[in-house]
Amino acid sequence: MSIRGSVVLRLLLIDVAGSVLLLLLWYLVFSSYNRKRGAAALRWVETACAGKARVLESRWMGNAHLQARLHFLSRAFDNALVTVKFRPRALPLQWLVSCLHRQKETLTFEADLGGSPSFRLEVLRHRWSAHNRGLSTGRRDGGEWQVYEPGPIILTTRTHWKQDPTAELNALMSVRRQDILQVRFRPESPQFSATLNLETLADPNTAAGFVSALREIAAGASTHRQ
């Protein structure tokens, strides 16, 4: 092998070794960062529960998912579990994809209600829509926009839809009043789940009503227990 070829090979090996070390350092730093975020998230949850529940145990599912079991003193929920989904910061490519898709860090609460709902329901957070009445996009006067608040929309697979879906509409209206992204009811365990932005719990004023909001939403199924 020529001297020039030997130098090129040596530089290539140095570049590869440097890249591996950089990726390893990246992984260690951001894995540690996510774990610190996880510890903070569990503190937020306990603060939000305001003494009504406490964290029993927690475990990491990979480097971006944290699960923790909750115990409610009043037995408001059974088999309660929270799953916190962080951005996959320790894996550069996945982290970049999550940033491009503007994925939020979320917390999902799951529990049994003590009585099985007789229906399946998935509620997505209420959205706003607007249009500028066909005006030129160059005009940015906020007064020219008309904002509409669509009414409740229910998509069902039932062949016979009842005229008074009390539980479904109660849950839908409750979600509209809370900063919650998604709610699910189903007969099997976990019978109830709710997903919200993790940063919501970082605000003490918003987090204070966390458990009350969950109870209010779950109460929408109370009249339709089996």
Dump the DSSP string for 124-191.
Answer: EPP--EEE-TT--TT---GGG-EEE----------SS--S--HHHHHHHHHHHTTT-SEEEE-SSSS-
Structure tokens at 135: 């005006």
Q: Is 5 helix (H, G, I), strand (E, B) or coil?
A: helix
96-135 pLDDT, tens digit per residue, is 999 998 888 999 999 998 777 777 777 776 555 555 555 5
Q: What residues pair up with 83 in beta bridges, in sequence order?
A: 67, 108
Quick check: 214 pLDDT over 90? no
Nearest to 68 by CA among 77, 80, 78, 76: 80
Alpha helices in 50-85 (DSSP H): none
Any idea of the CA torsion for 171, 177, 183, 187, to the nearest 10 degrees?
A: -20
pLDDT over 70 percentage in the chain: 71
CA dist list (Å): 1 to 8, 14, 15, 65, 87? 11, 18, 20, 50, 47
Q: What pLDDT does 28 receive?
A: 93
For the stretch 23-76, pLDDT in tens is 999 999 999 999 999 999 999 998 888 778 888 899 999 889 999 999 988 777
3-state secondary structure (DSSP) of residue 21: helix
Residue 82: pLDDT above 70? yes
Top pLDDT among 118 and 226 is at 118
Per the prediction, the chain carries an average pLDDT of 78
Amino acid residing at 1: M
Sorting pLDDT into bands at 50, 70 and 90, what band is 226? very low
Query: Quick one: angle between helices 166-176 and 210-218, nearest 10?
Result: 160
Give CA–CA dist 3/11, Å, rounded: 12
- Whether 105 and 197 have beta carbons less than 8 Å apart is answered as yes
